[in-house]
């Protein structure tokens, strides 16, 4: 997830975290709630940031830089079409510096074409969604260890119990933070996805997001929901500040945007999805994507579990989620 704006609002759809080993804490606390009509413009910015975080979705990984990696492998990993702005991905020689920490895979690093193009805008049905990813440009990242899956509810619970940490969504907002909000709206909670009754224009996200008092990582959809049977699910309703706290506790750190994208692409160049250009190759669901016409009720005719979802070319199940990294100076987990 990006290290620019912090938003106090968290979202139920996919605010899973990705800590790294050095536990960087450069960002300020995230905005988290819609409080009044008078603060609508601020709320629009908050939710907009939340949707960016969603796009970055949520696995943790450890970056472990090798002392003197070979710059590139002898052969490029994937050829991009001649008309594509994506050039070949050049991988470092994939030699991990020792045995893998538990639950992690080695991402060799290298040079790749980072960014996106207008051709992928049809994924969301809203023109301009890839504007902040332009232009496609070349970036080099060093090798690192990365968690193979997202951080789960049971993993985050261990952190919360060990530290007594209270997430952003669990904290009551103050009048100082939201001076124009009426007192009755200063209640802890978060945003929850709410399907619409029928088809709607996709130009107003207030139609399918609502502020739910009492929603947090322990109660993803609100006070009446819980984590029973969801122990292995990715943790949600966590803000960037929460992810940083988890990462520091775990001896990890959040990845850079370039590290995340490199891992998600799996050595391939310019594909729409981590596994290829088809959302459902041969009719197979490769991830837990929305099934049906957004934002109406998802049909849920098929799903992919966190342990069975398709992996990227690196072997990490992080194509649609954030990651955590670890520096070579940190002890192996």
Neighbouring C-alpha atoms within 13 Å toward the C-beta of 218: 16
Q: CB within 8 A of 222, min separation 6: which ones?
A: 189, 192, 212, 213, 214, 215
- In the chain the first and final C-alpha atoms are separated, in Å, by 23
Task: Locate all alpha helices (DSSP H) within the chain, ordered by sequence.
Answer: 40-55, 153-163, 240-250, 257-265
**Does the residue 116 lie in any domain?**
no
Q: Is 173 among the domain residues?
A: yes
- Range of the structural domain that residue 224 is part of: 8-60+151-250
Nearest residue to 149 via CA among 69, 66, 61, 221: 61
Residue 9: predicted pLDDT: 44
| Residue 118, domain member (yes or no) | no
* Strand duo 90-91 + 104-107: pairing: unpaired
pLDDT at 123 (0 to 100): 60
Domain assignment present for 86: no
Q: Which pLDDT value is given to residue 77? A: 47
Assigned domain for 97 exists: no
Whats the size of the chain, residue-wise?
333
Angle between helices 240-250 and 153-163 (to 10 degrees): 80
Q: 30 in a domain, yes or no?
A: yes
Q: Give, for all 333 residues of the chain, the pLDDT tens digit.
A: 333 334 444 444 334 454 444 333 333 333 344 334 344 444 444 444 443 343 333 444 444 443 334 454 444 444 455 578 899 999 998 788 889 888 888 999 999 999 988 776 656 656 677 788 889 999 999 999 988 888 999 999 999 999 999 999 999 999 999 999 999 999 999 999 999 999 998 888 999 999 999 999 999 999 999 999 999 999 999 999 999 999 999 998 888 999 999 999 989 998 888 888 888 899 888 887 788 888 987 776 655 445 444 455 555 544 444 345 554 333 223
Q: Is residue 192 part of a domain?
A: yes
| Separation in Å, CA 245 to CA 23, 24, 111, 319 | 7, 9, 30, 23
Sign of CA dihedral 36, 40, 46, 51: positive
The CA distance from 146 to 317, in Å, is 10
User: How many domains does the structure of the chain reveal?
Assistant: 1
328 lies in some domain = no
pLDDT of residue 275: 85
> At a CB cut-off of 8 Å and minimum separation 6, what does 61 contact?
18, 20, 104, 107, 144, 145, 146, 147, 252, 255, 259, 263, 316, 318, 323, 324, 325
């Amino acid at each position: 997830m990006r290290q620019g704006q912090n938003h106090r609002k968290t979202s139920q759809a996919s605010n899973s975290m990705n800590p790294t080993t050095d536990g960087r804490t450069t960002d300020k606390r995230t905005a988290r709630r819609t409080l009044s009509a008078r603060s609508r413009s601020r709320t629009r910015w908050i939710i907009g940031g939340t949707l960016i975080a969603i796009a970055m979705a949520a696995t943790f990984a450890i970056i472990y830089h090798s002392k003197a990696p070979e710059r590139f492998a002898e052969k490029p990993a994937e050829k991009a079409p001649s008309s594509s702005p994506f050039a070949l991905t050049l991988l470092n020689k994939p030699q991990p510096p020792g045995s893998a920490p538990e639950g992690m895979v080695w991402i060799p690093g290298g040079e790749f074409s980072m960014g996106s193009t207008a051709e992928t805008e049809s994924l969301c049905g809203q023109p301009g969604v890839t504007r902040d990813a332009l232009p496609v440009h070349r970036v080099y990242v060093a090798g690192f260890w990365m968690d193979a899956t997202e951080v789960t509810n049971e993993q985050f619970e261990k952190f919360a119990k060990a530290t007594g940490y209270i997430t952003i969504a669990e904290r009551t907002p103050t009048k100082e933070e939201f001076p124009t909000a009426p007192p009755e709206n200063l209640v802890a909670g978060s945003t929850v996805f709410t399907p619409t009754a029928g088809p709607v224009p996709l130009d107003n996200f207030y139609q399918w997001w609502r502020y739910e008092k009492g929603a947090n990582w322990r109660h993803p959809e609100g006070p009446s929901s819980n984590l029973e049977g969801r122990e292995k699910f990715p943790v949600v309703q966590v803000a960037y500040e929460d992810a940083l706290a988890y990462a520091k506790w775990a001896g990890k750190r959040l990845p850079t945007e370039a590290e995340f994208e490199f891992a998600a692409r799996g050595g391939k160049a310019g594909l729409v999805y981590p596994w290829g250009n088809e959302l459902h190759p041969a009719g197979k669901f490769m991830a837990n994507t929305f099934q049906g016409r957004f934002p109406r009720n998802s049909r849920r005719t098929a799903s992919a579990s966190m342990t069975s979802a398709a992996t990227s070319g690196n072997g990490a199940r992080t194509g649609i989620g954030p990651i955590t990294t670890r520096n070579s100076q940190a002890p192996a987990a």
